[in-house]
Structure 1
Amino acid sequence: MGRGRAKAKQTKVARELKYSSHETDFDALQRELSGNSSDKHEDGKSYDDDPYDDRYDEYRR
Structure 2
Amino acid sequence: MGRGRQKAKYTKVARELKYNVPETNYEQLQRELQGSRAEHQEDELSKWADYIDDEEGDEDAEDYDQRRLA
Q: Which has the higher helix share?
A: 2
TM-score, normalising length: structure 2: 0.36
Larger relative contact order (CA 8 Å, sep ≥ 6): 1
Greater C-alpha radius of gyration = 2
